[in-house]
Chain A
Amino acid sequence: MQTIKMVFSNPRYLLLACALFSSMLVGLLILSEFIFLEPYVVSHLPPGTELGFSLIVLLCLLSALVIPMNIYRINILKSSKQKMGGGIFGSFVGAIAGACSCGPVGFAVISTFGSVGATATAFLTNYETPIRVVAIGILVVSYFTTVRSLKIECRLGD
């Protein structure tokens, strides 16, 4: 908790977290058809999609927590950029999981890459929930690794 306070007491990182969370959330909710922009801006949560919605919110929260903490570690403590990979990778994997399916992204992938695109889209759609759970797992591991790293490096830096 102290590590979180240390990072987010700096308004720049708090702002970055808010920007990351809101842009990821809105983007993923549009891609997963929880929000529509045309012909009217409207949102809805169809019955049976609650789990998918919750995983998206959790993924965005964790990404908004882990990525600024890693940037803080690199900027303030001049640490290696390599350790940031987990957070970025987790966010990316979680984001693409639901982006395909039958929406415009999936349609574009299938139209462009034919049967290979259809196979890839089908895989991402069929395993959307497990992929998101794995992505969340990667972000959780990345969070604890970052917290531990910040504690050690800050102590050494004292």
Chain B
Amino acid sequence: MVAKWILIGLVVIAVIAGAALAAFPQDPNLDPTRQHGDISTAFGSPILGNPDAPLTIVEFGDYQCHQCYNWFHNTKPAITRDYIDTGKANLVFVDLAILGKDSLTAAQATHCANDQEKYWEYHDFLYNSQNPTIDGGWASRENLVGFASELGLDVDLFKSCLESNKYSDRVRSNTNEGKSNGVAGTPGFFIVNSDGQSDLISGAQPYIVFKHILDDMI
């Protein structure tokens, strides 16, 4: 009788594990327990910068969001120079793909690029290629494949990844993570210290605001 229940339990565990693998089967380097403060960043980007940095900037963003573009071009370079490159902070990007259908595809494309270990190169390429028109075609599937080609990725591999939609659940999970943590617009940032304490910064705020908070939390 006991053996029967153990067998049923094992079958249930196997089914759940199978379903989880079907949903997120892709990234062998995925750490499903990765957490920054109250935020699960398991399905977010790889960590940019020193993984052991005392502070983490968790950015929730959409590739079609113009304010994210503004932050990428006007604030991020100074943060990279003063905090990420110096090992004081690292950065994780988590998709909050809400603005249009191409937002979801673009976010999936970054994870496909991550399969070839070019997540950040592809991420940067998207923000450098952004056109202010939402769903206007700049992030169409054809263009996303073209960007992969320009970055020297294996285009066939990238294309099959994108066409399989295998990262759509991952992007949706990231979007839900943002919503459940109270992010009410893109970009939204959490600065998290090693004790798990965090501060929220909403919007494409200037460097001085980040500097103030980062310096206070170090």
Contacts and interface: CB of A to CB of B under 8 A. Distances in A.
Interface size class of B (residues with CB under 8 A): 20 to 34
A46 B212 contact: no
Nearest to B212: A40
B67 A33 contact: yes
Contacts of B62: 102
Contacts of A130: none
Contact of A36 (B74, B184, B205, B212): B205
Interface of B: 62, 65-68, 70, 73-74, 98-100, 132-136, 179, 184-187, 199, 201-206, 208-209, 212-213
Given A104-B185, A118-B100, A126 B133 contact: yes
Contacts of B203: 33, 36, 103
A103 B206 contact: no
A122 B212 contact: no
A142 interface: no
A157 interface: no
Interface in A42-62: 42, 44, 46-49
B70 A40 contact: no
A106 interface: yes
B98 A101 contact: no
A-B pairs with the 6 shortest C-beta distances? A102-B65, A122-B134, A44-B206, A102-B186, A104-B184, A104-B185
A107 interface: yes
Nearest to A32: B67
Contacts of B68: 102
Contacts of A106: 99, 185
A42 B209 CA distance: 8
A83 to B, nearest CB: 36
Interface in A92-112: 101-104, 106-108, 110-111
B146 to A, nearest CB: 22
Contacts of B199: 39
Given A40-B209, A122-B134, A46 B70 contact: yes
7 contacts: A33-B67, A36-B203, A39-B213, A46-B73, A102-B185, A107-B186, A110-B98
A158 interface: no
A110 B133 CA distance: 17
B184 A107 contact: yes
Given A38-B202, A122-B99, 5 more contacts: A42-B209, A46-B74, A102-B187, A103-B203, A122-B135
Given A108-B184, A118-B98, A118-B100, A125 B66 contact: yes
A107 B98 contact: yes
A114 B129 CA distance: 27
Contacts of B185: 102-104, 106-107
Contacts of A47: 73-74
Contacts of B209: 36, 39-40, 42
A102 B67 contact: yes
Nearest to B136: A126
